[in-house]
Chains A and B, each alone.
Chain A
């Protein structure tokens, strides 16, 4: 166990193929502990595949990665108990109340019964959901659902938190709130946060460091300011994105991906 490693995530030649298509091609990526790290890239660049492998939902075709000190191939159970995950699509159960969703997570993560009540209350307070804990989640707004999902993901104090497009479909105020909560979590609980995003403002404002994936490999990596500086004094992240990935007319993503992200974008009630 290399829990003293300065890296929360370290991939070595991480590769995944689906039939003849290589979604991720020998990815070598290291994310230092304590960062908010953004994964950018056009649809089909390999962001979701990377996230699925790092969260142990998908096995690599070749290569491996260490997440929170453990190998995702050899020790997936240990990795799972040390990470939190908020999928892009709706993952809180609308037919249950906020409290019931949290209780389900607390039990699945094996929190001792004596700790559960306090941890749930703490997470509810942190996400400012205390007053709505008894309401059914289908009556929540999009921003509240996102905060509940964050609360569920932080209950067991994960050392690494993965979020797939955390603010997709949220209004500007709800988006700001999610950013604030992620910053607080990162600062106060020293949680390493890895997000995927298509939102260049989010990448610029929230992330300490970015990697731009293109065709299954890293096309550019660095702090937002460094990436912009490479293209000139007035460049923004959109320019960076276009420079490294935008000349490509081959469009990625399939029907199901599109269906999922449209659904996610429509979810705020």
Chain B
């Protein structure tokens, strides 16, 4: 992590000021997570298989259903951002398992006894999860291009999609951390994880537009952070498609949800070891 003010390098006698130290603690947690992913990328790659199936099998068939109106875009182009958001959700939502594993070992005990603010422990993991999401985004872009699905490749739009994926992945992994702090055992966590993913996925605009839903489901979908992730990715990948909620709203909601999630997870983190 680079200190915000490189003109005043911290020395042995002068302790670093608060902000660079905080950034460094967040960075240290994220760095450790990234090293682990790099050494064992199998999980990351196998996770990419699932979205490919959704897109090329499920999407192919659903694309023949004429009831889903996707404007001038093909259904596959409409569905691609949904699959991206879904793969972010499905991998981030099980992030808590790793934390329960670390808790069972004793790693979490040691982290909690360190003077690093607890929010740095939460944020570090969220950022690492966000970077995992980016790898998935790259894989899905590659599949989309190979399948000849037309999406915007404008660098600004791609950067926007990456930013949304980073945020979304951080949100769902931190949510997963909150669940882990609450249930504390792997068995319960797996059950709850399974229970949560499908409703989050189906009560969103990932597979079909909101306008196709009955009123009550639309209301639920508007409370679902996944809807904002899908909407952001979709309006950036298909700039011509009408019906977006608008990027400012999407990003504002995601940033607020992330702040709330990090605050709750920070508060609950010590519960993990009680």
**Contact surface of A with B, Cβ cutoff 8 Å:** 52, 55-58, 77, 80-81, 83, 85-93, 95-96, 100, 103-105, 107-110, 112-115, 136, 152, 260, 263
Contacts and interface: CB of A to CB of B under 8 A. Distances in A.
Contact of B28 (A77, A91, A107): A107
15 contacts: A56-B113, A77-B115, A85-B109, A87-B110, A88-B106, A89-B105, A89-B109, A91-B109, A93-B107, A95-B35, A96-B32, A108-B25, A110-B115, A112-B11, A114-B12
Interface string B1-43: 0000000011110111000010011011101100110011000
Given A110-B115, A113-B10, 9 more contacts: A57-B270, A57-B273, A89-B104, A91-B106, A95-B36, A108-B115, A108-B116, A113-B16, A115-B12
B106 A90 contact: yes
Contacts of B253: none
Nearest to A115: B12
Interface string B237-274: 00000000000000000000000000000000010011
A89 B29 CA distance: 20
User: Considering residues A89, A95, A108, which has the most beta carbons from chain B within 10 angstroms of its beta carbon?
Assistant: A108
Contacts of B9: 113
Among all A-B residue pairs, the 4 with the closest Cβ atoms: A89-B106, A107-B28, A81-B115, A87-B106
B11 A110 contact: no
Contacts of B104: 89, 260, 263
Contacts of B273: 52, 57
Given A55-B113, A57-B112, A114-B11, A107 B25 contact: yes
A113 B31 CA distance: 16
Contacts of B113: 55-57, 80, 83, 85
Contacts of A85: 109-110, 113
B114 interface: yes
Interface in B33-76: 35-36, 39-40
A85 B115 CA distance: 12
A237 B116 CA distance: 40
B36 A96 contact: yes
A223 to B, nearest CB: 29
Contact of B32 (A56, A88, A91, A93): A93
B188 to A, nearest CB: 14
A91 B25 CA distance: 18
B10 A108 contact: no
Contact of A108 (B12, B111, B274): B111
A263 B29 CA distance: 25
Given A100-B32, A107-B24, A112-B12, A152 B110 contact: yes
A88 B110 CA distance: 10
B187 to A, nearest CB: 13
Given A105-B114, A115-B12, A57 B32 contact: no
Given A57-B270, A85-B113, A91-B107, A104 B12 contact: no
Contacts of B116: 108-110
A56 B273 CA distance: 12
Interface in B107-149: 107, 109-116, 120
B108 to A, nearest CB: 9
A170 B114 CA distance: 26
Contacts of B32: 93, 96, 100, 104
Contacts of A80: 113-115
Contacts of A109: 114-116
B34 to A, nearest CB: 11
B119 to A, nearest CB: 13
A103 B25 CA distance: 11
B254 to A, nearest CB: 28
Contacts of A87: 106, 109-110
B271 to A, nearest CB: 11
A91 B103 CA distance: 9
B137 to A, nearest CB: 24
Contacts of A114: 10-12
Nearest to A76: B115
A209 B36 CA distance: 42
Contacts of B105: 89-91
A95 B28 contact: no
Contacts of B11: 112, 114
A77 B107 CA distance: 19
Contacts of A108: 25, 28-29, 111, 114-116, 120
A107 B14 CA distance: 15
A95 B98 CA distance: 12
A263 B106 CA distance: 11
A110 B35 contact: no
A16 B24 CA distance: 35
User: Considering residues B16, B36, B40, B107, which has the most beta carbons from chain A within 10 angstroms of its beta carbon?
Assistant: B107
A150 to B, nearest CB: 12
A58 B112 CA distance: 11
